[in-house]
Structure 1
């Protein structure tokens, strides 16, 4: 869910919110493991389809139980159709497709590129932000880190692994577009958090339901691990966690809530290595460190140089 879709409330850090924040990082970081397991029994399109449909059903139940009101303006529904397509359907399809060729841990690292993509889209395309020198440096460092992760020196020709990495980057780009689009067209509208999440996920699910004959038809081997992974991806990772995200946003504000970006790749990498036995190549963690430095700069948590104090002559 876009971080500036909900206005922050005064900070009131408590144990409950901290637990929800940590649970967000754990569940979203685990999503890459769930996708990898689900792909052993279903196709990539079926993974994305189930994730969005289960997520929409879960959020729909929350909306009904809480008696939340949905927006009525047609233009808002059209905006959410765009947001559901670009911010849910497309990146979910791309990540699921990519994990046929790349490790879940590497996919989680590429997901961390999202803040860099968002800064580029918000500035260069949607023009809803202006960057200072440190932020521009952060984008440059983040791009350098992405190149290091890809490791172009290791490829003599186009391969599935390389295309899979580009698909992961495409997913991060989709998220960046969606976040910037939200700020440009929806952030000023008074839409409560739960309906916002339901509209975005629900519209994404609607898109894939329409495309069912093209993305969700194929052989299925529905073992217990595959079924549990699909349910976790949908009902938990694309449903309940969105509500936790809203609670954290309202309590801590968007800046603090966005630090979940630093947790998810760590969880994704640890699970990939410990559970699936995935191997690491030296350039992946090195590139990830560069990306994180770039994120710190673009989010103004780190600055290049310090201003010298001005002394008056008196």
Structure 2
């Protein structure tokens, strides 16, 4: 992802589906992380025959269709509140349309592994937006230090000592950071405006993806009507990216959120870069510079501090419940 779990606190409070075992939840959690990590590979392959806009269009349309089938199977009713539809439209643009377009464009110029590493900056962006823009959290000094450390990690990944010539690669890296900033904005926006809507996790995901798909459908004449060159690998990549990465994986993640809580479920953030880097190296022959994984480790440490994870671990060890937070996206 370029994907990230789309969950809110009310969804996290729902009970997991009846009869769901802890083993089943663990499998779904792992599968979501693997699929979202593989999404960067799927995008890279798809870009070999279709445009970035067509990649974003396809994944949203297919994801909406997949989620829509589950909504029909569960016979869930759409919300009637115009306020909810308004907020979900904002999220559709900021959480799906814009970042999906940015990621697709950027992956023309950077490796899939590097894109997956940058995607892991989403929790840092979320902490910045939640604490400074929407003020839904009061940042502690240690969290501010974590944000600073995360930014330092990004600088290490960019590697300015190698020279900044404003090439497409650097612009693409900044575009990915713009996409994760959109994710951070959206997650903080969810917390402030849609945390008490009463929607199920499935309905929330369907509206988020479905409205975004409708927006892309309206923009079809402007963005999508360009020539394509398809082969079996491109078709399979697009279908998997849409139906799995932008569809079913959301349901798996939401089941984990409801069973484990958003804080624990958000650790999927640590799976996706590993999967993205490994698949990029094994299948596409991509190589990473030494500074990219080193910078990623610095970012992960910054995430631990920014999300106050270290304090929560200590409190859990002492028998105190951890405070739940909105998880970070990793589609």
TM-score by length of 2: 0.89
Task: Confirm or deny that 1:46 pairs with 2:54.
Answer: yes
Give me the whole-angstrom Cα distance separating, in 1, the residues matched to 2:187 and 2:233: 32
Residue in 2 aligned with 1:166? 174
Q: CA deviation at 1:155?
A: 2.9
- Deviation larger for 2-11 or 165-174: 2-11
Residue in 2 aligned with 1:8? 13
Give me the whole-angstrom Cα distance separating, in 2, the residues matched to 1:77 and 1:285: 40
1:250 to 253, 258, 261: 258
Give me the whole-angstrom Cα distance separating, in 2, the residues matched to 1:213 and 1:143: 39
Residue in 2 aligned with 1:277? 285
Q: How does 1:25-174 map to 2 (within 5 A)?
A: 25-174=33-182
Unaligned runs of 5+ in 2: 1-5, 315-331
Contact 1:194 1:243 in 2 (8 A): yes
Residue in 1 aligned with 2:324? none
Residue in 2 aligned with 1:301? 309
Give me the whole-angstrom Cα distance separating, in 1, the residues matched to 2:233 and 2:10: 35
Q: CA deviation at 1:282?
A: 1.1
Residue in 2 aligned with 1:194? 202
Length, aligned pairs only: 306
* Structural RMSD (CA): 1.7
Give me the whole-angstrom Cα distance separating, in 2, the residues matched to 1:176 and 1:207: 21
TM-score by length of 1: 0.94
Give me the whole-angstrom Cα distance separating, in 1, the residues matched to 2:165 and 2:179: 23
Give me the whole-angstrom Cα distance separating, in 2, the residues matched to 1:195 and 1:9: 13
Contact 2:8 2:190 in 1 (8 A): no
Structure 1 runs of 4+ aligned residues shifted over 4 Å read: 9-13
Task: Confirm or deny that 1:183 pairs with 2:188.
Answer: no
SS in 2 for 1:243: helix
Q: CA deviation at 1:300?
A: 1.6
Contact 1:122 1:180 in 2 (8 A): yes
Unaligned runs of 5+ in 1: 307-314
Task: Confirm or deny that 1:264 pairs with 2:272.
Answer: yes
Contact 1:21 1:260 in 2 (8 A): yes
